Structure formats: C-alpha cells, structure tokens
Amino acid sequence: MNLQIQIDEKNNESFVHLSGEIDVYTASELKEALLPLTMKKGHLLEINLENVSYMDSTGLGIFINALKSAKEHASNLKLVNLQDRVHRLFQITGLNEVMDINTTIRGVDG
Amino acid sequence: MDTREIDTRNYTALLKKYIETQDEQALYGAEQISKSFIKKNILPEEFVNLHIQALLEIYPDLHDKIKPSMHFLLEAMISYGLAHQEFQNLREKQLAIKSEILVAARMQKMLLQSKIPETDELDIGVISVPANQMNGDYHHFVKGKDGTISITIADVIGKGIPAALSMSMIKYAMDSFPENIMTTDTVLASINRVVERNVDPSMFITMFYAQYKPDTGKLYYSSAGHEPGFYYSSRLQKFKDIESKGLVLGVNPDASYVQDELNLEKGDIIILLTDGVTECRRDNQFIDRTEVIDVIKKYIHLPSQEAVNHVYRHFERLQNFQLRDDFTLIMIKKQV
C-alpha cells in the first residue's frame, strides 16, 4: 500500500495530509517531505493522520526525528486526528506525553 | 591438448555439421559449449574469434567481404565483454558481502546469547527469531549474587545491521551497571542517556526491564515504551496487561521512568514480548492482543520453553513462515 502526502503551505504554517500506510517502504519519502518543514524557525507543522490506517515503528521513528528537528529549530509540530490503532502506538511508546497530539476526529466533536 | 582446444575442435565440428545438415543436435552441442565457456569466463569477443577461426578452417576461401564483417562483429562485442566482466566482479563482491554479514550475524548471536539462569523459583522459556539475518530484538537474563534475577527485553527500531550494532551498545552499557543495586527505573534512565547520545535521530529503542527478588517474591519492573507484556494470575485465572508508562529510549536525555511491582504467587506467569508478536498479520489483517492471549492459553500448561516454542510455531504458520519483524517471546512461571 502507498502513502499519499499532500502539503498546503500558508505563510508560517504547513498542513500535511497523509493517507495510506506509514511503514518501512514509505517512511523515507515521508521523512524527506517533513524534515525541511521542521527546519523553519517559528513554523507550525500540522500533520493530519485521519486517513492513516497503519503505522509501524519505522514510521514512529520518522515522527521522533521530526520532533527532534522541530525542537532544534524552534518550530512546532502537531499531530491531529489519529486513528485508534495509530494512537495506541504513541501511547505505548510514551510519545503522547512529549508530542502535541490531538486525537479529536473532525465531525465528531465539531 | 587442453580443454579449450578440445572445445575449439568440437565447435568447428559442430558448426560444420550444422551448416551441412541443419541438425538440431549440433545446436544443442553449441549451447553446451557456450555454457562451458561462461563457466571458464571466456569473453564474448573471444567466442566470436573462435567462430572466425572455425569458419576459416571449414572454408579457407571464405568470401573477402565476410572476413572483415566478422572482425567488425568482434569489435562490436568488446563492450559486452566488459559488461560481463563487471557482472562477474559484482557477483564476487556480493558473495564476499554475504559471507561477511553471515560472520557478523554469527558473532552477534554469540555476543548476545543469554543463558537462562538456573533457579528453582522460576521456570523460564525464551524464543527469539530474527526476520532477516541480524536480530533487532534483544533479551538478557542475569542472576545476581543475592539471587535476584534480572530480565531485559528490548526492540531496536530500525532494522538490520544498524539495529544490530546498537544492540551491542545496550549490552555493554547494561553490563557496566553495578549489579542489582540499581532500581529498575534508574537502570532505564541510565541506559536512555547512553542511547540518546549514540543513535541516529530516527532510531529508538523500546525496553522492558525487570528484577525478580526471590526473598520477597516480588517482580519490580519499568518500561521504556515497550509493548506491554501479560501477567497471568493463577488465583484469578485471568490475564492482564503489564502496563507501565515510560518514554522510548533515545528521544529525550532527561526522561525519567517509574518502577512498578507485582507480587508473584505460585503458578503466576509473566509473558514478555516484542511487537513482532503482536504485529503478526493474517491475510493482511492484524491480529489483536486478545488473540495472542488465546494462543498462549492453549500452551500455558506446558513447561515454559515448550510453550513459547509452540506459540512461535503457531504464528509462523499463520504468516506462511514469512516473519515480517523479529519475534521474541519470554515466559516466566513462578514455580514455588
């Protein structure tokens, strides 16, 4: 399965919409798309995972990398609309405590 | 007469036969000769040269225009010869790399082998199977002088050789900690600092570390983002997750961990695993954790080592014997 990466950049914000699976085969493509966006000071990078049905630990590694890079470059990283299975991965690994994650699915809670 | 000369003669004879009779047998013979030439590393242009010599022997009065045309062909084949030589070189290099990896895998296996400590208190079984040559899962048992048994299970994210190399780092760091005087949470905090300094930004390690104290019958444990294990209470005849909060190793150098404890009674069982177990797929559907418990239940009456072997075989079959991820399963039964 593939991963589709759609990026809308506005001023100092980027909205990334992902759909598909994030795994060992699609991770490097995602890394190349995300990392440059984390390197702009003060930039907000919001990643919508609503249509990501599966993510493995390699995918998790990409988000850890993005988080470290955001910290280093003083930009902000935010994950929104995670499916249960994906969210569980962030919970088990304790990453939900150190990352800005909003699981509210749009349309459910408005 | 050397074999090459024999081949030359054969080739001439076969060519002659084919020109005169168009016999299929002669074509088959030519195929055999070309196979033997490839084995001897004879280049395409040499083959063309052989053809020219054979042709001249059969037709000493070969048409004037044919001869230069054959030399033209010979020149044209030289690039193919170079490509063939490069292919041979790559094949040799590939073999060398393959055998180097094999040596490294063997060395890793030796380095990381962990003997199950002898104890009357616990019946311990473990199986760890890599998906590829090198294992990204790590487990280790140590029995301290005071009888404390420490158990480590870890999963290095990022597969293959880089993962295997970081595993050696974990092993040496763990070995350097003073024996059993550290609590499980301080062990994870220390190893986290080592890992954070030494891994690539997209790499991380999940680890579960526990100490069983025979004098109190208690299991102390901490988790760094590791897939939760299971605790089976023989009194309640129920499984529950061994939940413990903690950030994966290698993300934040200042991460702190918590130590939790479990009172183990006779017949209680601790099951530790890596996500290679819970991430098994069947027809592209993931199995869930309750399904893992169902399989474990089937073999739980067996001695731990037999039980983990059976569980592994079950999941191996389920995935048509193609592991996607390294698979490690530890079972610890309290005997007394």
* Interchain CB distance below 8 Å, A92 and B158: no
Rg (CA), chain A: 13
Give B-chain residues touching A64 at CB under 8 angstroms.
201-202, 204, 248, 250-251
Residues B63 and B123 in one domain: no
In a domain, B314, yes or no: yes
Chain A interface, best mutation among B223, B226, B248, B326, by max A CB count within 10 A: B248
Token code pair at residue B37: 């030439």
Residues B167 and B45 in one domain: no
Residues B226 and B175 in one domain: yes
Domain count, chain B: 2
With CA atoms as reference, the chain A residue closest to B250 would be: A64
Residues B130 and B175 in one domain: yes
Residues B62 and B157 in one domain: no
Distance from CA of B333 to the nearest CA of A (A): 25
Task: Give B193-210 pLDDT, tens digit per residue.
Answer: 999 998 888 889 999 999
Residues B125 and B88 in one domain: no
CA B237 to chain CA centroid, nearest Å: 37
Query: What's the pLDDT at B326?
Result: 81
Distance from CA of A110 to the nearest CA of B (A): 30
State the DSSP code for A96: G
Helix axes B3-21, B44-58, angle to 10 degrees: 60
Chain A interface, best mutation among B137, B157, B202, B208, by max A CB count within 10 A: B202
A96 touches chain B (CB under 8 A): no
pLDDT in tens, chain A (110 residues): 689 999 998 888 999 999 999 988 898 899 999 999 999 999 999 999 999 988 888 889 999 999 999 999 999 999 999 998 889 889 999 999 999 998 765 444 33
Helix axes B44-58, B66-112, angle to 10 degrees: 150
Residues B118 and B89 in one domain: no
H-run or E-run covering B92: helix B66-112
Residue type, A96: N
Band (pLDDT 50/70/90 cuts) for residue B171 is confident
In a domain, B99, yes or no: no
Residues B131 and B204 in one domain: yes
State which residues form the domain around B58.
3-93
Q: Point out the residue among A31, A64, A94 whose CB comes nearest to the CB of B246.
A: A94
CATH of residue B149's domain is: 3.60.40.10
In a domain, B102, yes or no: no
Of the residues B93, B126, B156, which one is the last residue of a structural domain? B93
Residues B164 and B61 in one domain: no
In a domain, B184, yes or no: yes
CATH superfamily of A3-102: STAS domain (3.30.750.24)
In a domain, B98, yes or no: no
CATH of residue B63's domain is: 1.10.1240.30
Task: Give B99-120 pLDDT, tens digit per residue.
Answer: 888 888 888 888 878 889 988 8
Q: Do the beta carbons of residue B263 and residue B228 sit within 8 Å? A: no
Token code pair at residue B132: 């590829």
Alpha-carbon gap, residue B327 to B283, rounded angstroms: 19
Q: Note the ipTM here.
A: 0.85
